[in-house]
Amino acid sequence: MQLSDQNQYTIQGIDPTQLTEKFGSPLYVYDGATIRRKTEALQHAFAGVNMKIKFACKSNTNLAVLRLMKEIGVELDVVSPGEFEMGKLAGYDASQITFTPSGVPFYEVKEAVEAGALVNVDSLPLLEWFGQTFGNTKPCLIRIKPNVAAGGHEKIMTAHADSKFGISVLLLDDILEIVKKYDIKIIGLHQHTGSDIKDAEPFLQVADILFETAKHFPDLEIVDLGGGFKVSYMPGDAVTDMTLLGNKISERFKKFCSEYGRELQLWFEPGKFLVSESGYLLVTTTVVKEDPARNFVHVDSGLNHLIRPMMYGSYHHILNVSNPTGEEKPYNVVGYICETDTFASDRNLPEVRQGDTLAFLNAGAYGFTMSSNYNARFRPAEVLVDNGEARLVRRRETLEDLLLTQQGL
């Protein structure tokens, strides 16, 4: 979102208040130009190797966003049958979709394999079942847990020893025994360290572990290093230096391929990196409550639409789109849910008035996809702005939507 010389915020030249007037409030808005720019940055950082991007679509499953990803050459990583079907609806071939389950019923894995997806095996029991079911007729990847603690909040760290995700690298002998027993065709190794990793060192550490582990598998085609690159949440925020990271990992990957005896493909599975900064949640101020302890700004949204601040304590920068030059005051920005749903505490904002439009930044990832109907509230509409045009890509819910699956009405 840009601030013009006329002190007006715009998204590709469009006034956000015009979007809420046309499509209603609250409203999710995605900037397609940002998604394109972030994809190009990742492609440029790893231009020296055979690299493929697999969008972690759990971060944003809007079909218009998935179609944009397909248009710019990004494939998909899914974690459920529903996401798999959405990928196909967006135009992806099953062969372009990787299914990375986490302790799911085995029939989900069977359905995905038989539909043509490549599965990422995340446990020894699943590996044993995969061998019993498919033998060497179907290839798969194995998700390795490197036992490295890195990332932001503990809930988004996924590679440490206590994490539920993947098979511990310490169980390599057990993995190899099962693979040999059923002659399973392992074509790739995968790991995902977590999210909000700023420095190159954790990526290099887990890459070295995965490269060393890969030497035990003679038929590999893919090494998948996951995602977790840090994005900017506030002005001046530290981010992952993608050029530095790209150079260092590419150098080690090339060395590994030379030692392995042939060139493999390097995969990454970014979610937040590609879409977080593209998204805005536009809300309307309903009440400004001046309290002896705090000044409260109540808005027409809550944890039902954006739960990350309450779940992770995540920071979302807030703009007063309607009054960008007002005198700054400290506010607690809170939601309308009958819970403590505080978006921000003691946040300095240009004076907020009833009816002002506020914009929550970094709402493109894990915003709508983690939303709910708590308090019987409706999910908001979604708009994609691309090539200077704003297009409604999901309508606002209605009471009929909430009652659709209930029986005996």
- Number of C-beta neighbours around residue 218 at 10 A: 9
3-state DSSP of the chain: CEECCCCCEEECCECHHHHHHHHCCCEEEEEHHHHHHHHHHHHHHCCCCCEEEEEEHHHCCCHHHHHHHHHCCCEEEECCHHHHHHHHHCCCCHHHEEECCCCCCHHHHHHHHHHCCEEEECCHHHHHHHHHHHCCCCEEEEEEECCCCCCCCHHHECCCCCCCCCEEHHHHHHHHHHHHHHCCEEEEEECCCECCECCHHHHHHHHHHHHHHHCCCCCCCEEECCCCECCCCCCCCCCCCHHHHHHHHHHHHHHHHHHHCCCCEEEECCCHHHHHHHEEEEEEEEEEEECCCCEEEEECCCCCCCCHHHHCCCCCCEEECCCCCCCEEEEEEECCCCCCCEEEEEEEEECCCCCCEEEECCCCCCCHHHCCCHHHCCCCEEEEEECCEEEEEECCCCHHHHHCCCCCC
The answer for residues whose C-beta is within 8 angstroms of residue 382's C-beta and 6 or more apart is: 27, 28, 29, 30, 62, 64, 368, 392, 393, 394
Per DSSP, what are the bridge partners of residue 391?
Answer: 384
From 57, 140, 257, 338, the catalytic residue: 338
Tokens of 218: 């003679």
Cα–Cα distances in angstroms (integers) from residue 348 to residues 236, 295, 317, 380, in the given order: 16, 11, 10, 26
Using DSSP bridges, classify how beta strands 357-360 and 318-320 pair: parallel, antiparallel or unpaired. antiparallel
338 part of the active site: yes
Active-site residue set: 338
